[in-house]
Amino acid sequence: MHFDEEQIENLDKIFRINLINSCSGYKSANLIGTISDKGVKNLAVFSSITHLGSNPPLLGFFLRPTEIVPRHTYLNIKQNSYYTINSVQEDFADQAHHTSAKYDRDISEFDIAKISSETINGFPAPFVSSSSIKIGMKFVEEIKINYNKSRLIVGKIVELNVDDGLISKDGFINLNTAKVATISGCDGYSFPKRNIRKGYQKPNKS
């Protein structure tokens, strides 16, 4: 099936959202935890988190325009500078997905979705207790994408907690062992069963 630019722009809204969100393939599923200046713990599922560098260790994620719809995650990060990124596993994927519902800012998605939070080493943002990978982040900068008014939020990893037995000798984290979720589209969850590592590639010798 072929779609040109005009056809894409004229597609049914929901069809277009699903099509464009899934055409780029699988994405990571993560829960971002924040806390408001009033102490309300916020939790939201994101599929746009991406690696930006290892030294310094940076991760980024994308936010849709904040001018029209309030983005509680964004507001909390701007106020407090700290947030957490937590893996989603198969056994609580349904609860994690429910955090995408739009609740008022004074309602905690941790409570609504019945997901337990925890504090680790006094870190100023809540972690997800049941996540196998818990990452503590500090806000670095935001980059506005003028074409559609989205924002890239850049943060530095300042705390990393990984369940015992998941890290290989070379530092590789075996996500499949933990049954970590991926997302396709807006609501398609998959759970990879195995890793096939291809190794670091060098040019063939002539």
Instruction: Give the CATH number, domain containing residue 149.
Output: 2.30.110.10
| Domain enclosing residue 101, as ranges | 27-190
Asked, for residue 114, whether it belongs to a domain, the answer is yes
Rounded to the nearest integer, the mean pLDDT of the chain is 92
Tell me the average pLDDT across 41-59. Answer: 96
Q: Number of folded domains in the chain?
A: 1
Specify the 3-state DSSP secondary structure of 93. Answer: helix
Asked, for residue 43, whether it belongs to a domain, the answer is yes
The widest CA-to-CA distance across the chain, in whole angstroms, is 64
Cα distance between residue 81 and residue 124, in whole Å: 9
Residue-wise pLDDT for 126-166, tens only, equals 999 999 999 999 999 999 999 999 999 999 999 999 999 99
Asked, for residue 172, whether it belongs to a domain, the answer is yes
Residue-wise pLDDT for 8-43, tens only, equals 999 999 999 899 888 888 899 999 999 999 999 999
> Does the pTM exceed 0.85?
yes
